[in-house]
Amino acid sequence: MKTDVLVVGGGATGAGVARDAAMRGFSTVLVERGVLASGTTAKFHGQLHSGARYVVRDPTSARECVSESAILRRIAPGYVDDTGGVFVLLPGDDSSYPDRFLPACRAVGVAVEELDPALVMRQEPGLARDVVRAFAVPDGALDAVGLVRACAASAAASGARILTERPLTGLHVDAGRVVGGRLEDGTSVEAEVVVNAAGAWAGRVAAMAGCRVPARLSKGVMVAVPVRLVHVVVSRCRLPAHGDILVPLGASTIMGTTDTPVGDPDDAVADGAAVRAMAAAGDELVPGFSSAGPVRAWAAVRPLVGVGASEPGGRQVSRSHRVIDHGEHDGVAGLITVTGGKATTFRLMAEEAVDAVCAALGSPRPCRTALEELPGR
Ligand SMILES: Cc1cc2nc3c(=O)[nH]c(=O)nc-3n(C[C@H](O)[C@H](O)[C@H](O)COP(=O)(O)OP(=O)(O)OC[C@H]3O[C@@H](n4cnc5c(N)ncnc54)[C@H](O)[C@@H]3O)c2cc1C
């Protein structure tokens, strides 16, 4: 098989890269070891981020969420549940945090409005009865699996080949340059550029060419009940910590999440202590959350690549993404890694990765993914 761009990974990022590359006219092959969206994308928390969560500590991520959530509402309305969101300050929370939160929201462009707590508690009867202050922001919920399928369909409509259940097992390196890859079934794919969009597994893919991805892996545990207990995304109004956010997704409500360093991207076990902590955090926001139905628990692993990734303290690390040209990073050309980030910002990540492909191939071509609507369901 011969192609301009070989994309490794069929999560939100890889599907976004395949769509973007194919729409720019590059012949494109995407390989995914499982089915589409079988990695972190299918196991995330479900939130379309307005950016409000990051405004104080991580304004870069916040700005990316502001612009990308607006774009997703435009190009993927069928995959966004525009619930709105509310940040609530509860007794015991740092009462000075809103003094930083409000101006920081305004500085990065998050539309924020202080609400009367009594009104919020009337509109959300399940919510804790002791809300001290409340702020409306444009958070929402995201059908990320639907989005991946739509990106893959759009990529295929532009000529891309989407190969699922086809793990990449090796990269071909010739004279210091990645020139393609080998699939588990023995197929060889010759490529001008390989884009490594393997999420938490990106380090393993890069290692196939002797390259490194400087990321710290962090596990997040989530719990859900099969009842929609709130109408809007509800977040604690405090610096990001464990168990801050309740997302109404479809007919369920998801509470999360944690942030625990792990060494192995396949270490996605939801351990009992974290599950109990998330259930208790849910009960703090919505009393009775954990007894509202059978509690389902799972975990997913995120690669943290932003500023501070080499330091301890996961919540300190920027949730932004990184595009690595391994020619510059490790002296091995032809391999570009795009990792980190959020489902909310997958389109931007893909755009930057394909910009790097254009630069590597000396063939600048404009990105159109923010302009063209994705296919519906
Ligand atoms: C706990 C948690 C909660 C989150 N919550 C949110 C949220 O609420 N909102 C938000 O916007 N973002 C959230 N995120 C971030 C978001 O989930 C991710 O940014 C996004 O889903 C990552 O997509 P990806 O395509 O980069 O990775 P993945 O979805 O993991 O895709 C990588 C793919 O590569 C494949 N792969 C790996 N190795 C190979 C190989 N050798 N050959 C072929 N394929 C391979 C895997 O099977 C996988 O499908 C959360 C993340 C975590 C961990």
Summarize pLDDT for 86-107 with one digit per residue, the tens. 999 999 999 999 999 999 999 9
Per-residue pLDDT at 35 = 98
Q: Is residue 237 in a domain?
A: yes
Task: Give residue 200 CA to ligand 1 midpoint distance, Å.
Answer: 7
Instruction: Extract the tokens encoding 192.
Output: 């001008």
- Residue in the block written with tokens 């490790």: 330
Q: Where are the alpha helices (DSSP H) in 28-143?
A: 59-75, 97-108, 117-123
Length of the chain (residues): 377
Q: Is residue 48 in a domain?
A: no
Give the residue numbers spanning the domain of 240: 82-140+216-305
- Tell me which of 7, 29, 41 to substitute to probe ligand 1's pocket, judged by most ligand atoms within 8 Å of the beta carbon: 41
Answer whether residue 326 shows pLDDT above 90. yes
Provide the 3-class DSSP secondary structure of residue 113: strand
Answer whether residue 233 shows pLDDT above 80. yes
Summarize pLDDT for 101-151 with one digit per residue, the tens. 999 999 999 999 999 999 999 999 999 999 999 999 999 999 999 999 999
pLDDT band at 307 (very low <50, low <70, confident <90, very high): low
| Ligand 1 atom with minimal separation from the 300 CA | 53
Answer whether residue 277 shows pLDDT above 90. yes
Per-residue pLDDT at 52 = 98
Per-residue pLDDT at 318 = 73
Q: Which of 3, 358, 36 is nearest to 159 (CA)?
A: 3
Q: Is residue 272 in a domain?
A: yes
Instruction: Extract the tokens encoding 146.
Output: 């639907």
Provide the 3-class DSSP secondary structure of residue 224: strand
**What is the arithmetic mean of pLDDT over 300-304?**
95
**Smallest CA separation from ligand 1 atom 15, residue:** 342
Q: Is residue 146 in a domain?
A: no
Summarize pLDDT for 5-57 with one digit per residue, the tens. 999 999 999 999 999 999 999 999 999 999 999 999 999 999 999 999 999 99
Distance from C-alpha of 106 to C-alpha of 111, rounded to nearest angstrom: 7
**What is the arithmetic mean of pLDDT over 161-185?**
98
Q: Is residue 225 in a domain?
A: yes
Q: What percent of the chain has pLDDT over 90?
A: 95
Query: Residue 35: CB partners within 8 Å, gap ≥ 6?
Result: 10, 164, 165
| Ligand 1 atom with minimal separation from the 9 CA | 34
**CB-ligand 1 contact for 54 (6 Å cutoff):** no
Q: Is residue 373 in a domain?
A: no
Higher pLDDT, 310 or 17: 17
The domain total for the chain is 1
Q: pLDDT averaged over the chain?
A: 96
Q: Calculate the alpha carbon distances from 366 to 4, 109, 351, 355 in Å.
A: 17, 26, 9, 8
* CATH number of the CATH domain containing 240: 3.30.9.10
Task: Give residue 129 CA to ligand 1 midpoint distance, Å.
Answer: 36
Task: Give residue 41 CA to ligand 1 midpoint distance, Å.
Answer: 4
Q: Is residue 150 in a domain?
A: no
Task: Give residue 8 CA to ligand 1 midpoint distance, Å.
Answer: 12
**What is the arithmetic mean of pLDDT over 292-319?**
77
Instruction: Extract the tokens encoding 375.
Output: 């296919």
Q: What is the H or E stretch that residue 277 is in?
A: helix 272-285
Query: Residue 154: CB partners within 8 Å, gap ≥ 6?
Result: 19, 22, 23, 372, 374, 375
Answer whether residue 228 shows pLDDT above 80. yes
Answer whether residue 319 shows pLDDT above 90. no
Distance from C-alpha of 15 to C-alpha of 298, rounded to nearest angstrom: 23
Task: Give residue 361 CA to ligand 1 midpoint distance, Å.
Answer: 27
Per-residue pLDDT at 377 = 75
pLDDT band at 313 (very low <50, low <70, confident <90, very high): low
pTM comes to 0.97
Q: Is residue 247 in a domain?
A: yes
